[in-house]
Structure 1
Amino acid sequence: MSRYYTEKQRGHRPRRASHKRGLQRYASSSCIFSGKEASPFLRNTQCSIVSLVSFCPLLDPMGRVDVAAENHHTTSSPTTGGVLVVGNYCHDVIYRDGIVVGKGLGGAASFLSNLLDPLCSASASYISKVGADFSDSVSNSPITSSSCPTTLFHAYFPSAAADGYHGDRVLRRVRVCEPIFPSDLPSENFEFGLAAGVAGEILPETLAFMLDLCRFMFVDVQGLIRVFDPNDGAVGLVPLRSSAFFDLIPRIRFLKASADEAPFVDIEEVRKLCCVIVTEGKDGCKVYCGDDEIKVAPFPALQIDPTGAGDSFLGGFVVGLSWGLTVPDAALLGNFFGALTVGQVGIPKFEKSLLKAVRQELERRRSYDAVPCQTKFSLNYQESVAHQEFRESLLRAAELSCIGGLTEIKDENRKKN
């Protein structure tokens, strides 16, 4: 993939002020601590350590006070408690050695809905734009633009290797739909927000408004740092710092980047501003928060097409958090679905039996870990004591569902046992 390095920064658009929420303020603590200092690594089940008098701010590993919950629930606008996903659908055409080998629906929203709709514990709302030429059947109706066509990407792969891997792709944006504006977003508040742009459709002011609406914000960095060659549409990357989004980074809870995108993020700097998740393919992923670093094991798989793997990871990660999983456990679920995705071309087809087994496991774990004294959702950055057990349950679900491309996963599981 060609890359473009530029220090030219787009002009900053004024941040749209939210008439719904106003400025966030760090509230003073109303906690009583029983013999231990407040820590972001307290397990959810250790309620006896902290007695809540009223609102107890939570600290993430960077020491930030999580007062978003209080602000979020004191607005006059209705709260859905659900998930807001913003990003356009697109059409993908796949070439191998110059020959078209596949066409289909693409865009982060299509991969995310593939997991959020059947698995998330909260309902999801999608804001996407397409052109009048869009005829795909999707469960979440997009906004139709009267002036622009549906975004179109061409992905070029070399010959498939003996192991089925298509190799690195060259991606070109051939057509582009209009961007998503703040006025396109709903007015209600959400527990989770996912900014998943692929073609420059999410504007800085749109992301700023999403941050006003959503308590926990997840952003795929590709939507912030991608640039497109004006001649052939080749996708390149620019440093995050030189983008018009950089001032919004401290308001983001999780920023996801691939290993290829990570050098453009400056992990050491950005990890001080928000939590950064770097997906590393066959090596799993790493979560960086302040001075803390969490390594989450991979699920080895036969890689055929990497398209959408990061979207599936993000979808699995948010699904896990929505069920109350710790951050490492949710990242493990993200790794699982990322591994399943690379074994197929295009949007993966997950067996109903697999999705049912995963959902049952999530329900079981939430029932097991339920905490009567916890009245608000919070993030736990510590690996659960059942982390390995959860991994094994996912492996069993994949094996029972006879998922293609996971022979390496099964073999590795047998070796460990």
Structure 2
Amino acid sequence: MSKPTLAIIGSGWAGFTLSQKVALEKFNIIVISPIRTIQYTPLLASAACGLFNFRLAEEPVRRRSRTGLKYYKATAENIDFDTCTIYCKTSTKMAGDPGAHGFQRAGEEGQTQTTFEVKYDTLCIAPGCDIQDFATPGVREHALFLRTTNDARLIQQRILEILDKSSLPTMSDQDQRDLLNMRIVGGGAIGIEAAAELYDLWNEEMRFLYPHLDGKLTITIHDVAPEILSTFDESLSEYATNSLQGKQVELKTASHIERVGKDAIFTKEDGRLPFGLLIWATGNKASSLVEKLPVQKPEKGLPRVLTDRYLRVLGTEGEVVQGVYALGDAADIEGESLPTLAEVALQKGEYLAKVLNQEGEAGETKPFAYEQQSLMAYLGRHDGIVGGKTDWTGASAWIAWRSGSLAWTRSWRRKFMISISWLFVWWDGRDIVRK
């Protein structure tokens, strides 16, 4: 008797967790995603700043222990629920193609694309969200992001390039200062931690390698909101503000960016502001796939697929779409408003894996219930904040954040290798700045 096919759209926290925990004895599993790995997003800023190898911030979908799993490097363009068909478009680049050896973001133009269909018996929709650029002109062309290990590589490469260029004898003092402006757009945890890691990289390592540039590098955080880290309690947000300002990290809140140029952003409040590095770390916008689907979506806020408390997709009339589930940032539970956090996606993936593994067995399935976890953010120089049942600040919060970094990885191998990397950095400096 043939096994039913479980198709999983997406390899993020929800899709990856489900793909690794569903029993291969019960399902033929097909994962459809433009990225062949899960990206450990909380680790990307550290990887970009040389604390460990980029490969440690991701985990492959294909595993020797999961040889029955199929992976298709493609994007799901649409779904027909009536015929149980997923319409896909491939996204691959072969060696020898133009630009094949350069760094590219998933889905960029120039990649070979063909279409194909995938039939399913059970479907999990977990494509995540797209980057929210607020339709700001120039963002896609001139900003760098922090969503994948490829992005982290580009950021590290850019840091080294601007430091080398600033060291040329042809550069004036003002040219150096303009080029050494590092700007981060987004005052959430990702943006704040990127600023903190850049601060540590420069003050702990790089300024000794480039002493002629000391005092010329600036780090600025821009956010349209009136305060940073708005998901934390007000007292923790205020602590973070004071901590960053004490490190001479400039905060430009209520900053409205009108457009982005090759070497400058243009804001409503301050006009032209030069940069050498621009990291765009704002929120999420709906996946293009989600926008096409005939499903229920919230009336306000981020358009997401609405599900019942068992994570089953709800059709346009509120009916359950049989055999179809939705997880991760692209989904929310009707009547609730769960945050688009990795922890939510992870817990949903673990829940659905358990449900599918027990399918057909005696016993009542309990609805999904999210267990709130602590929120953490790193502020640089062994300082951080933790918000939850109890609030922490300072060195103890930094230790908790470091421990949390290891907890995000799904394998003991990566936990061990990251720990060893930290030890070598402490002993002999980062690979990009050896003592």
TM-score, normalising length: structure 2 = 0.23
The structure showing larger relative contact order (alpha-carbon pairs under 8 Å, at least 6 residues apart) is: 2
TM-score, normalising length: structure 1 = 0.24
Rg larger in structure: 2
